[in-house]
Amino acid sequence: MDNRMLRYLNERVLSPPATLAPERRRSFHIFLRIYLFVTAIHIVFMPIFLWIDVPALTALNLMCIGVNSLTILLHLRGKLLPALLIKLPFVITLIVAAGMLLGNNIGVEYYFFIILFEFVISDLERRYKIILSAILLGTFLIMLQWLFGLWGTWTLGEPAREMLHALNLMTTFILITYIALQVYIVSEITERRFRSDAYKDSLTGVYNRRAIIERAESLWRQQGSFALLLLDADHFKQVNDSYGHSAGDKVLRHIAQLLQHVLRERECIGRVGGEEFLILLPDANVDEAVKIASRLREELASQPCRLGKRILSVTLSMGLAWSHEEQLLNDVIDLADRRLYLAKSSGRDQIIAEGGESFDTTARYETFKGPSSTEEV
Catalytic residues: 275
Q: 358 Cβ partners below 8 Å, 6+ apart? A: none
User: CA 195, 199, 203, 204 torsion: positive or negative?
Assistant: negative
| Sheet (strand 310-312) strand order | 305-307, 310-312, 373-375
Single out the residue of 272, 320, 312, 315 nearest to residue 292, CA to CA: 320
Angle in degrees, CA 122, 124, 126, rounded to 5: 110
The Cα 256–Cα 269 span in angstroms is 8
CB 267 within 8 A of CB 216: no
CA–CA distance, 32 with 52 (Å, rounded to integer): 30
Between CA 350 and CA 191, with CA 256 as vertex, the angle to 5 degrees is: 145
Q: Using CA atoms, how far apart are residues 135 and 174, in angstroms rounded to an integer?
A: 25
**Strand, coil or helix: what is 316?**
strand
The SS3 assignment for 319 reads strand
Contact 107, 175 (CB under 8 A): no
Which residues, in sequence order, are CB contacts of 40 under 8 Å at separation 6+? none
Mark out the alpha helices in the chain (DSSP H runs): 2-8, 25-44, 46-52, 55-76, 80-102, 111-121, 126-142, 158-199, 209-221, 236-243, 245-262, 286-302, 329-345
Measured from the Cβ of residue 335, the count of other Cβ atoms closer than 10 Å reads 21
The strand pairing partners of 212, in sequence order, are none
